[in-house]
Amino acid sequence: MVDSNSSILERLTDTPNLLVKNLVDFVFPPRCPLCSRPIQSPEPHFLCPSCLSEATFIGPPYCIQCGIRFASEAEENHLCGRCLKATPTYGMASAICTFSGSIKTAIHAFKYQNKTYLAKTLIGLMDRSPLPFSISRYDTLVPVPLHRNRLRERGYNQSLLLARELGHRHGVPVDQGVLKKIHDSLPQIELTGAKREENVKGVFSLGGDPAGRKILLVDDVLTTGATVNECARVLLKGGAKKIDIFTVARAV
């Protein structure tokens, strides 16, 4: 009887909150965080069907190391030619989507237009991904750090915001101090190929002790992998047990 009364009381208590929410949704209907179209979703950070239709989720077949998506759907997962020629320092890289369409627009707005609320939207795309992301198997999430000059200019580290959202969802701690950027290199977006590798050499150093830890390095986009490769090298040199990579998007 006590349990029954308790259940009734809980429903009565929740009713005013539900009425308030319904009223707010009626006056101010939830909108897509990217294009502002009204959406029919209990989660206000979800993309609308139109924006979501532009997202290309990464699934098989893909490279089992760098995560790049293969064009032919008839193939099986395997190492790509680039990884066969030069094995990356990190163990495995995974991304949710390709860096194209609405995802490219969202990441650009998140990174350069101060739309930090999109961290929840971008990480939430994991729920639609065909890939299994075993985030909880890692000891620590480490965001790719920004140099203090870039941090002062932008006001936030987009990789840290993504890592925090990812950590919140999966119960894994974030360590933003174990890796730091000691030299202000040129933006990688301005460079291509070997110049990207040269640009990041020696720019990262340890700010803590990664020894023995299985670390998931978090960033927004993986392009050539030069930045995360150098980060992984520094962390492994410091004694980290394993370094894998997680990004929202993978350049195609």
Question: pLDDT digit string (tens) for 90-123?
Answer: 999 999 999 999 999 999 999 999 999 999 999 9
Residues 17-56 pLDDT 10s = 545 444 444 456 678 888 888 887 666 678 899 999 999 9
Is 37 buried (19+), middle (13-18) or exposed (0-12) by CB count in 10 A? middle
**Do 179 and 207 contact (CB within 8 A), yes or no?**
yes
C-alpha distances in Å from residue 179, one per residue of 30, 39, 113, 159, 236:
38, 39, 25, 13, 11
Domain extents for the chain?
60-250
Question: Which pLDDT score is estimated for 74?
Answer: 67
Question: Which pLDDT score is estimated for 190?
Answer: 63
Q: Is 141 helix (H, G, I), strand (E, B) or coil?
A: strand
In the predicted structure, residue 127 carries a pLDDT above the cut 60: yes
Strands 204-206 and 179-181: antiparallel
CATH class of the region 60-250: alpha beta
Question: Which pLDDT score is estimated for 159?
Answer: 97
- Summary mean pLDDT of the chain: 86
Higher pLDDT, 83 or 160: 160
